[in-house]
Structure 1
C-alpha cells in the first residue's frame, strides 16, 4: 500500500467527485416526476455512494480524512439544479444536465490519472472505476434524451 501524498490526493479527488454526484442527485430526486428517471437517479446515487465509501475507507487506511466538497460548490450545485429544473424537469432535460456533469467528472478524473503522480495500482484502478461509472451513467442517460 503506497502512502504518498499523491495517492491521498487522488483518493480525495475520487471522494469529492463521487460526493458531488451524491449531492447533485439528492438535489434532483425531489424535483423529478417521472418514475423511470427517478429509478435511474436512485441507481446512480447508490453507485456514487459505493465509490465515495470505498475511497473514504482507503483514505482512513492511509491515516487521512476525506475532504468534502466545498460549501461554495455545494451551494452552486444546488442552485444550478434548482434553476435548471425550474426551466424544465422533464426526463430529457434532467438527463442532459447529468450527462454534462458526468462528462466533467470523466474529464477531471482523467486529468488526475494522466498526471501520473499516483503510482498505487489499486488506487489507479479505483479512479478507473470512477471514470467507467461516469461513462456508464452517460450511456444509461442517453435513452432519456
Structure 2
C-alpha cells in the first residue's frame, strides 16, 4: 500500500523526470510549435513538483528526488535517440513514451494509495491527468 509520503514522492519524481525529459530534447527541436507545447508542459511539471515538495516539507518529510544516475542515463538515452532521428514527430513520440511511463506509474500508485488526505489524492490525480493531457497534445505532432 502507498501512504501520503510515498504518493507525494511519486508525484515529485514524475514531475522531475518530465522536466528532465523535456530539457533533454528541447535543444534538438527545430519546430517552434512543439517547443511551445513542451514549454507549457515544463511549467505544469514545475508547478506539480513545487506542490509535492511543499507538501512533503509541511509533513517534515525528506523529498526523494530522482538519482543523478537515472538523470544521466535518461539524458544519454535521449541524446542517442536524437542522433538517429531528431524530427519533431520523433521527439513527440519520445515524449509520449515518457508520459506513458508516468501514467502507468501514477495509476499503480493511485490504485495502491491507502492515505486519507484529499489534498494528496487530488495532487496525484492532477499529475495523472497532466500526463494524459500531454500524450494527447504530443499526438498532434506524430
Which 10-residue stretch deviates more, 67-76 or 13-22? 67-76
Instruction: Pick from 59, 62, 68 the counterpart of residue 62 of structure 1.
Output: 59
Report the equivalent of 1:132. 129
Report the equivalent of 2:92. 95
Q: Which runs of 5+ in 1 are unaligned?
A: none
Q: Distance in 2 between matches of 1:120 and 1:54?
A: 14
Deviation at 1:84, TM superposition (A): 1.1
Query: Is structure 2 residue 39 aligned with structure 1 residue 42?
Result: yes
Q: Distance in 1 between matches of 2:117 and 2:135?
A: 27
Kept in 1, the 8 Å contact 2:7–2:113? The answer is: no
Deviation at 1:120, TM superposition (A): 1.5
Tell me the secondary structure at the aligned position of residue 114 of structure 2.
coil
Normalised to the residue count of structure 1, the TM-score between the two structures is 0.93
Normalised to the residue count of structure 2, the TM-score between the two structures is 0.95
Q: Deviations over 1:12-63 (max 9, x none)?
A: 1100010000111111111111111111111111100000001011001101
Tell me the secondary structure at the aligned position of residue 20 of structure 1.
helix
Q: Distance in 1 between matches of 2:24 and 2:116?
A: 35
Deviation at 1:107, TM superposition (A): 0.5
Query: Is structure 2 residue 8 aligned with structure 1 residue 11?
Result: yes
Equivalent pairs counted in the alignment come to 141
Query: Is structure 2 residue 120 aligned with structure 1 residue 123?
Result: yes
Q: Which runs of 5+ in 2 are unaligned?
A: none
